[in-house]
Amino acid sequence: MTSSEVSLFSNDLISEECQNTLPEGYKFRALQRSDFHHGYLGVLRDLAYVGPITEEQWEERFDAMKKCEGTYYVLVIVKEKGGEGDGEFIMGTGTLVVEMKFLGNLGLQGHVEDVCISADHQGQQFGTKLIKALDHIASERGCYKVSLSYSISSFQNTSVADHITEYT
């Protein structure tokens, strides 16, 4: 595996059940160091201001997050491009941050943030599926609760709004 193919966390944490909810040609996977070139920042720009990030800055931040093992779980949804060998592009993302607490007998709390689906894929339940996949990872990590940080306007008139009430 080259340094650009390094994943932020093990894909073994991703539920097969969640994986099977995605349409053919789509899959969940952990963010990879090479995702600077697969449209990750473009998807985030559909959510909020990102700024002019260079590839070097991207790699430094990715490596810093990777060193905080057990803390950052950036999950992406990728769609395979056209034919064989064409690669893939990212069309959705969400982040689980695991916080160590004194509460809950030194428990762990999950924070789901930065959930975004590219504009051309919205309205197809991808956001709901992404949140459920992140919730599964939080459960696998032993989180006693999960909080979802969101802007009301981000989810108005979507099916995700119905799912949010389970976390607030």
Where exactly are the structural domains of the chain? 3-160
Which helix (H) or strand (E) is 76 found in, with range? strand 72-80
Tokens at 152, concatenated: 């009301």
Rounded CA separation 98/142 (Å): 10
Architecture of domain 3-160: 3-Layer(aba) Sandwich (3.40)
For residue range 48-77, list pLDDT tens digits in order: 888 898 999 999 999 999 999 999 999 999
Which helix (H) or strand (E) is 109 found in, with range? strand 108-117
For residue range 12-30, list pLDDT tens digits in order: 999 999 999 999 999 999 9
pTM here is 0.85
Classify each residue of 57-85 as buried b or exposed e, where b means 16 or more C-beta atoms within 10 Å of its C-beta: ebeeebeebbeeeebbbbbbbbbeeeeee
